[in-house]
Amino acid sequence: GQSLEQPSEVTAVEGAIVQINCTYQTSGFYGLSWYQQHDGGAPTFLSYNALDGLEETGRFSSFLSRSDSYGYLLLQELQMKDSASYFCAVRDPSSASKIIFGSGTRLSIRP
Amino acid sequence: NAGVTQTPKFQVLKTGQSMTLQCAQDMNHEYMSWYRQDPGMGLRLIHYSVGAGITDQGEVPNGYNVSRSTTEDFPLRLLSAAPSQTSVYFCASSTEGSGANVLTFGAGSRLTVL
């Protein structure tokens, strides 16, 4: 099966940079995705990495190392609105519709 | 575009009752799935579908049934509700394009089983 590990909580200061790590185990790899979820809301897609390296989208970047089965989400110039839970996810090799999520990292931002 | 619509938003059941959570999408996505979310446990896949007439079990399928008679609709049935099924349920849809398979989620349905 597929499994993903992420830290349960991370705390950072407004304006700073924070990195949320994700390690995964999968029998076949089709890329690593990241989702954001605010309290009481639905998850929303942030980024996707299929190849090694860094993908940048504004203040958010995502990194992948396939040889290490590891990725991270980097949030820069943190704002209070970035307080949320962040999930990494992988596709199961058996089906494109079978997406497995990590347990999530709750990011708390202090003024 | 409504996206993914889930009903009801809130529901309280008694143990042993049955109910159906509705999910509809208007994006012509071929893939649909149901997740449950419990505190500290992230999103766990219940059932998923790759198209009309095709469904399969996810990580936690016991106690739930699904069917996919149309591309648009993917209802989730609880046959005999148990307190362990108290959770927030999310329906999601996606289409395979550019490899990312981006999930679009509904707003969620909060279910309490007494």
Tell whether A67 lies on the interface with B, counting CB pairs under 8 A: no
Closest CB from B33, B99, B106 relative to A42? B106
pLDDT at A1 over 90: no
Of A30, A99, A103, the CB nearest to B103: A99
Q: How many Å apart are CA B33 and CA A101, to the nearest integer?
A: 13
Residue B61: cis peptide before it, omega within 30 degrees of 0: no
Q: Do B42 and A104 touch (CB under 8 A)?
A: yes
- Separation in Å, CA of A15 to nearest CA in chain B: 27
CB contact under 8 A, B103 and A95: no
Q: Do B109 and B10 touch, CB atoms closer than 8 A?
A: yes
How many angstroms separate the CA atoms of A13 and B81, rounded? 43
| Section A67-72 average pLDDT | 96
Question: Tens digit of pLDDT per residue, chain B (114 long)?
Answer: 689 999 999 999 999 999 999 999 999 999 999 999 998 778 999 999 999 999 999 999 999 999 999 999 999 999 999 999 999 999 999 987 766 789 999 999 999 999
